[in-house]
Amino acid sequence: MKLLRHGPQGAEKPGLLHDDGTIRDLSGIVKDIGGDVLSDAGLAHLRTVDAAALPVVAPDTRLGPCVGGTGKFICIGLNYADHAAESGMAVPSEPVIFMKATSAICGPDDDVRIPRGSVKTDWEVELAVIIGTRAKYVSEADALAHVAGYAVTNDVSERAFQAERQGQWTKGKSCDTFGPLGPWLVTRDAVANPQDLAMWLTVNGEKVQDGSTRTMVYGVAHLVSYLSQFMTLHPGDVISTGTPPGVGLGMKPPRYLKPGDVVELGIAGLGQQRQRFVADD
């Protein structure tokens, strides 16, 4: 299944992508795409619904982030060896964890606002993992059973805020709209192998990232298990698993985004996003 949320910001309704390409409204069936709906039982219930009988949503309706009620947005740094190299950093001996504020989450095609004082706003196509059931101290063998599904995310980053100022990476990652998520949550059963997904990103039509989840240093099962040793993962939590090479930071000379730039990105089977970058108020 491909689950989604549609409607105005802050008032999104649950929905799904029907096989005929139309968006269907699920608000008569569930309250949101989040919480218990993300469990195996919740998803099994949605599979019994006759999608063809659901109301059709207007095709120009805004898509919101594909999951609601996210408590944690956890990111993994330097999780592709070739991206670590372009960043001038060593491949970590265990996953590098940082947090992105949940207030950064936005719809997949919403405008991204370049914050005041930014001179190094950058792009990062990433595979997002959405947790479906509570995970604490889980083994790697059992880890994927706690995953509801997968989505595309753009881990937008302000490199000067991230690396040239005091403290952790969080402030360079958490600006408003720096976490486009969606267009849909593709359920776990519909993704044969999360470690074999092509991914790409273009800036103003020029392809700058062209990679695959095959080259992750630490795969999805390892990351879910690893994170669960330090914190309980809850339904709706998002894990952004790192980016392949081709970010602006790694170019020679470095290249960063400016108002008016258009970024498009996607992952095979998970859909694609399009963002226009604008100056923040």
pLDDT above 80 (res 160):
yes
d(C-alpha 159, C-alpha 188), whole Å: 33
**pLDDT single digits (tens) 16-67:** 999 999 999 999 999 999 999 999 999 999 999 999 999 999 999 999 999 9
* pLDDT at position 204: 98
pLDDT above 80 (res 111):
yes
**pLDDT single digits (tens) 170-229:** 899 999 999 999 999 999 999 999 999 999 999 999 999 999 999 999 999 999 999 999
* pLDDT at position 198: 98
Q: Residue 86's closest CA among 251, 218, 253, 257?
A: 251
* pLDDT at position 151: 98
d(C-alpha 195, C-alpha 268), whole Å: 11
**pLDDT single digits (tens) 118-145:** 999 999 999 999 999 999 999 999 999 9
Higher pLDDT, 81 or 45: 45
* pLDDT at position 164: 85
pLDDT band at 113 (very low <50, low <70, confident <90, very high): very high
Entry pTM? 0.96
- Chain position carrying tokens 């008016």: 260
CATH fold group of domain 67-279: Fumarylacetoacetate hydrolase; domain 2 (3.90.850)
* pLDDT at position 141: 98
Amino acid at 130: I
